[in-house]
Amino acid sequence: MKITLIGSGNVAWHLGQVLQQAGHEIAAVYSPTAAHREELAEALAPAEAVNSLDLRATDVELVVIAVPDAAIASVAETIQVPKNAIIVHTSGSQPLAALQGITGARAGVFYPLQTFSKSKSVDFNAIHILIEAEDERTLQILQAVASTISKEVHHVDSLKRKQLHLAAVFACNFTNHLLGISRQLLQQAALPDTLLQPLIQETIAKVMQSHPFQVQTGPAVRHDQNVIDEHLILLQDQPLYQQVYQLLTQSIQDHSPKR
Amino acid sequence: MKITLIGSGNVAWHLGQVLQQAGHEIAAVYSPTAAHREELAEALAPAEAVNSLDLRATDVELVVIAVPDAAIASVAETIQVPKNAIIVHTSGSQPLAALQGITGARAGVFYPLQTFSKSKSVDFNAIHILIEAEDERTLQILQAVASTISKEVHHVDSLKRKQLHLAAVFACNFTNHLLGISRQLLQQAALPDTLLQPLIQETIAKVMQSHPFQVQTGPAVRHDQNVIDEHLILLQDQPLYQQVYQLLTQSIQDHSPKR
């Protein structure tokens, strides 16, 4: 597949490299910032760094838009591609309709379900790729491309992808924040940051095997009001954390009423 | 060290086995339930199953109370031991003073900072053990015993242990609950349970290397109100989850004000 990448962020870097390694040709890289497109094009040599979204004179087959969510619509309205090229965006939270502004091309979604950091390489074979397209033929092509880099390819429509994104916010973004609060509490108590790491890893290992609601532990599920009260006192100078503690305790107890 | 175990739950099972493997003698196991004490004593053979908390006629040196938090005080008030024996409890949430009812013995805390399941073996060398004692000599003995089973032994007083326990509630109990909500949302969308597992593992791998507040991602930290509003609509039939979403979003944004 002859591919042009739009964007130079973490998704563009990782996806570009893994697609190239899988034998696809990364023909060009576009970014409005010259230094960014040149750096990524060099990493993906012999890819060309281009400064125009008019790709009509090229023979690109697949355009991958890997830009911030808010920029997708404006790229879609500006970009021009050869007839029959496929244009996909890579966002978990945006519907297929975010590409409705494109003309003369087939639209799709190619969403690698992972959080990327430029400095950390990832194993795409372990990454689920969620695809969607406006017609069956395009879907088949995206399925074929995704299969060259991952064993886990799923056809998921826009509504389900939004529901998945919501689930990911709970499982990853909110979880990360709670781990941050926990780290802050350790620091306030002058305890080492690393103290809870084995416990956190065991917690995650457990939920890979069981439904989390079935292995819930702690004072909330035990309805241990003495401990809960003592914790709330420890949090009295941090009212927002106190509210978080109370609401999550309530939500846990809602699932496990006192016997 | 000649040790008697009080209790037959997960902590007693794991701690008993690892102490025995380290060369200590598990002399006896007490549990009020005959079947429980006999099963554990058999696993720790030649340990004896005993049905009395009067241990004065024995030559036990260390008594490990591994019972539910609420039962510690009543065991402490009942138990009788040879002069100079050490009695420890194994609770993260209870102070040293929970043992104030004991007579003729030295009190301490021996808290293995891990979540145990009977069916899953654990590597104690990777488990932090937190110790505390009412005098320096007892502390040294507990330090020596703990060092035979773990490389990570810390002297942590009751207040700090309570703060640590609070941090663990955020990092493990609350995190587990959020992962449960996420799993439920996937199920409601008829998406496979395993879809988010690589993302969860990457989230945890990241926070082992960086402060979670520094690697926060998602719509909250981006102040992406469109996505937040869409997520709240998806949660409209689950008002408690909607509240959790709103409060955690607020707490994340409190750390990362809109620029």
Cβ B244 vs Cβ A247: under 8 Å:
yes
pTM as predicted: 0.87
> Cα–Cα–Cα angle for A169, A170, A176, nearest 5°?
85
How much of chain B, in percent, has pLDDT values that exceed 70? Answer: 99
A-B contacts (CB, under 8 Å): 295
Per-residue confidence (pLDDT) for residue A255, from 0 to 100 = 94
Chain B residues inside the 8 Å CB shell of A227: 69, 93, 165
- Of A156, A180, A206, at which residue does a domain stop? A156
Domain that includes residue B200, residue range: 162-255
Residues in chain B: 259
**Token representation of residue B85:** 């024996």
- Alpha helical stretches, state H, A90-171: 136-147, 158-168
In the chain, the amino acid numbered A200 is I
Number of domains making up chain A? 2
Cβ A148 vs Cβ A127: under 8 Å:
no
Between chains, do A179 and B171 touch, taking CB under 8 Å as contact? yes
B162, pLDDT greater than 90: yes
* Cα of B111 to nearest chain A Cα, Å: 13
Cα torsion angle, A185, A189, A193, A198, sign: negative
Between chains, do A128 and B243 touch, taking CB under 8 Å as contact? no
Chain B residues inside the 8 Å CB shell of A198: 113-114, 126-128
Whether residues B20 and B148 share a domain: the answer is: yes
Give the span between the Cα atoms of A214 and A195, in whole angstroms.
25
Per-residue confidence (pLDDT) for residue B166, from 0 to 100 = 96
Whether residues B115 and B173 share a domain: the answer is: no
Q: Identify which of B6, B56, B3 has the alpha carbon closest to the alpha carbon of residue B25.
A: B3
B119, pLDDT greater than 80: no
DSSP-derived pairing of the beta strands B128-133 and B106-112: antiparallel
Residues B200-229: tens digit of each pLDDT: 999 999 999 999 999 999 999 999 999 999
- Of B156, B176, B209, at which residue does a domain stop? B156
The mean pLDDT of B143-165, rounded to a whole number, is: 96
Whether residues B119 and B32 share a domain: the answer is: yes
B258, pLDDT greater than 90: no
CATH number at A218 reads 1.10.1040.20
Give the span between the Cα atoms of B219 and B142, in whole angstroms.
48
Residues B42-84: tens digit of each pLDDT: 999 999 999 999 999 999 999 999 999 889 999 999 999 999 9
Whether residues B91 and B168 share a domain: the answer is: no
Between chains, do A203 and B175 touch, taking CB under 8 Å as contact? yes
Q: Which residue has the tokens 């091309």?
A: A105
Whether residues B186 and B248 share a domain: the answer is: yes
Return the number of other C-beta atoms located less than 10 Å from residue B239's C-beta. Answer: 9
Per-residue confidence (pLDDT) for residue A65, from 0 to 100 = 98
Q: Coil, helix or strand for B80?
A: strand
Cβ A217 vs Cβ B115: under 8 Å:
yes
Residues in chain A: 259
CATH number at B13 reads 3.40.50.720
Q: Coil, helix or strand for A243?
A: helix
Chain A residues inside the 8 Å CB shell of B154: 192, 195
| A-interface mutation test, from B93, B116, B174, most A Cβ less than 10 A away | B174
Give the span between the Cα atoms of B25 and B170, in whole angstroms.
37
Cβ B7 vs Cβ B65: under 8 Å:
yes
Between chains, do A171 and B178 touch, taking CB under 8 Å as contact? yes
Whether residues B37 and B146 share a domain: the answer is: yes
Q: Coil, helix or strand for B196?
A: helix
Whether residues B104 and B204 share a domain: the answer is: no
Per-residue confidence (pLDDT) for residue B123, from 0 to 100 = 82
Whether residues B36 and B133 share a domain: the answer is: yes
B189, pLDDT greater than 90: yes
Give the span between the Cα atoms of B108 and B95, in whole angstroms.
10
Between chains, do B178 and A178 touch, taking CB under 8 Å as contact? yes
The torsion angles phi and psi of A63, rounded to 5 degrees, stand at -110, 125
Q: Identify which of B82, B117, B118, B79 has the alpha carbon closest to the alpha carbon of residue B99.
A: B79
Provide the ipTM.
Answer: 0.87
The torsion angles phi and psi of B152, rounded to 5 degrees, stand at -115, 85
Whether residues A12 and A135 share a domain: the answer is: yes
From A127, A168, A180, residue closest to B211, measured CB to CB: A180
Whether residues A51 and A134 share a domain: the answer is: yes
In the chain, the amino acid numbered B92 is G
Per-residue confidence (pLDDT) for residue A120, from 0 to 100 = 72
Between chains, do A227 and B69 touch, taking CB under 8 Å as contact? yes
CB neighbour list of residue B16: distance below 8 Å, 6 or more residues apart: B5, B26, B29, B40, B43, B44, B47
Query: A54-69: buried (b, 16+ CB within 10 Å) or exposed (e) per residue?
Result: ebeebebbbbbbbbeb
Q: What is the pLDDT along chain A (259 residues), one digit of tens a residue?
A: 999 999 999 999 999 999 999 999 999 999 999 999 999 999 999 999 999 999 999 999 999 999 998 899 999 999 999 998 999 999 998 999 999 989 889 999 999 998 777 777 778 888 899 999 999 999 999 999 999 999 999 999 999 999 999 999 999 999 999 999 999 999 999 999 899 998 999 999 999 999 999 999 999 999 999 999 999 999 999 999 999 999 999 999 999 988 7
User: Number of helices and strands (H, E) in chain A?
Assistant: 9, 8
Per-residue confidence (pLDDT) for residue B11, from 0 to 100 = 93
Q: Identify which of B87, B68, B91, B62 has the alpha carbon closest to the alpha carbon of residue B77.
A: B87
Looking at the DSSP bridge assignments, the partners of residue A133 are A108
Cα torsion angle, A56, A61, A66, A68, sign: positive
Per-residue confidence (pLDDT) for residue A123, from 0 to 100 = 82
Q: Coil, helix or strand for B187?
A: helix
SS3 content of chain A, % helix, strand, coil (to 5): 50, 15, 35
Per-residue confidence (pLDDT) for residue B124, from 0 to 100 = 84
- Of A122, A156, A190, at which residue does a domain stop? A156
Whether residues B51 and B147 share a domain: the answer is: yes
Whether residues A150 and A173 share a domain: the answer is: no
The torsion angles phi and psi of B171, rounded to 5 degrees, stand at -75, -30
B259, pLDDT greater than 90: no
Give the span between the Cα atoms of B222 and A70, in whole angstroms.
11
Between chains, do B234 and A162 touch, taking CB under 8 Å as contact? yes
Residue B234 buriedness (CB in 10 A; 0-12 / 13-18 / 19+): buried
